[in-house]
Structure 1
Amino acid sequence: METVQYAQQIVNELQRSVLQLEEEEAEQFAGLLLRSNKIFVAGAGRSGLMGRAFAMRLMQAGKEAYVVGETVTPGIDKEDVLVLGSGSGETKGLISMAEKAKSLGAAVVAVTITPTSTIGTLADYIVKLPGSPKDQDSGDYSTIQPMASLFEQTMLVFYDAVILRMMEKTGQTTKQMFGKHANLE
């Protein structure tokens, strides 16, 4: 198969994946983010990179958003929310974050393939994304892509769709958001 054919197969898989998203979960998630004071985002590896992109868009949409672990990230409070992206829902560091956030009264959201995981069980809100876990033999979702690529791609598309919904609910435009774009680059 040639590179363009692989790219088309990836797009087909992503299309199939997006069609499985639950509207009610997405609406609850967008509503929670809109009414939260601060939003903290975390994930490990590539899931963490998708979270970082989401935190940037949240900030550009006017929300006070932070990536957990950055030196400028403040403490979390009970009017805040922690969004954890984890396919397996078993990443040890993220489990600790969920436990700490809950002990401080913050809401926890799990964006995951496995809602019955430790993080899913700890979460106040769950967004189930389709996809294949890193160990593809343990899942029933077929993909040609390595490891959890389909989950991570679906996560980024889902996060961008949530931003669009938040923009719609608040009457924001891309032009307004661009005013918060980094300008020291």
Structure 2
Amino acid sequence: MNYSEVQKEIRAEIFNTLEQIDDESVEKLLAEIKQADKVFFVGVGRVLLSLQSVAKRLAHLGIKTYVVGQITEPAITDKDLLIVGSGSGESAFPLIIAKKAKQFNARVAHIGANPDCSMKQYSDHFVRIPVATKFNLPNQTPSVQPMTSLFEQTLLLLGDSMALMLVREQDIDMHSLWEHHANLE
């Protein structure tokens, strides 16, 4: 198998998965983001890496974003949103953080693959990325890629799609976004 064949398979999987995400659930998540004073993100492993990219992209749009655990993380309040990335919805750390956020009356949005999971009890909103997780449930789309790569890739592109939706909705001049970009590089 060569690169050309493999990348075509991966692109097809990503395209198919993005097509299956419910528009209304994404629009509702965007409404939650716009309504929030601050938007916090939590996940683990490669999911966290994708969420960090989403947080950074939204920060470029002027949204106050924080990744749980970063040294400058402020207190969460009832005016804020916590976005949890967890394919299975069973990862221990995100569950603990979501429970804690609810104690402060923050809104919680879960982006995951499994709607019937432990995270459900803490989530106000759910966006489903319908791919196979570590539990390999029957209603999930399998992937040729290792482990949960398809979830992490789709999560990143979902975030970039939401950012572009915001740019177009708010008629943001793309060049002006550089004002929010890191400049100590």
Q: Same fold (TM over 0.5)?
A: yes
Alignment-derived partner of residue 10 in structure 2: 10
**Structure 1 ranges of 4+ moved more than 6 A:** none
> In the alignment, what sits opposite 1:89?
89
Match of 1:51 in 2: 51
Q: Secondary structure at the match of 1:157?
A: helix
Tell me what 1:28 maps to: 28
- Residues in 2 aligned to 1:29 and 1:111: alpha-carbon distance in whole angstroms: 10
Equivalent in the alignment of 1:154 = 154
SS in 2 for 1:83: strand
- Indicate the larger mover: 130-139 or 71-80: 130-139
Tell me the SS of whatever aligns to 2:180.
coil
Work out whether 1:69 is the aligned partner of 2:59. no
Residue 78 of structure 1: aligned partner: 78
Distance 1:140 1:180, change over 3 A: closer
For 1:86, give the aligned amino acid. S
Residue correspondence of structure 1 range 129-148 to structure 2 within 5 A: 129-136=129-136, 140-148=140-148
**Secondary structure of 2:183 counterpart:** coil
**Pairwise CA RMSD of aligned residues?**
1.3
Aligned equivalent of 1:127:
127
8 Å Cα contact 1:40/1:68 also seen in 2: yes
Q: Which structure 2 segments of 5+ residues have no match?
A: none
- Long gaps (5+) in structure 1: none
Q: Which amino acid aligns with 1:158?
A: L
Report the CA distance shift for 1:139/1:24 in structure 2 as closer, same or farther (over 3 A): closer
Q: CA deviation at 1:141?
A: 1.5
* 2:113–2:140 Cα contact (<8 Å) kept: no
Which residue type is aligned with residue 127 of structure 1?
V
Letter in 1 for 2:151: F
Amino-acid identity (%)? 31
- 1:18-61 CA-partner distances (Å, limit 9, x unpaired): 11010000100011101110000111001000100011011110
Is 1:116 aligned to residue 137 of structure 2? no
TM-score, scaled relative to structure 2: 0.96
In the TM superposition, residue 134 of structure 1 has moved relative to its aligned partner by: 2.7
Structure 1 residue 4: deviation in Å?
Answer: 2.1
C-alpha contact 2:88 2:135 (8 A) present in aligned 1: no
Amino acid at match of 2:24: E
Distance 1:20 1:7, change over 3 A: same
Amino acid at match of 1:71: I
Give me the whole-angstrom Cα distance separating, in 1, the residues matched to 2:153 and 2:32: 23
Counterpart AA for 1:122: Y
Q: CA deviation at 1:178?
A: 1.5
Tell me how far 1:170 sits from its aligned partner. 1.9
1:6 deviates by 0.7
The whole-number CA distance in structure 1 between the counterparts of 2:85 and 2:173 is 27
- C-alpha distance in structure 2 between counterparts of 1:71 and 1:52, whole Å: 14
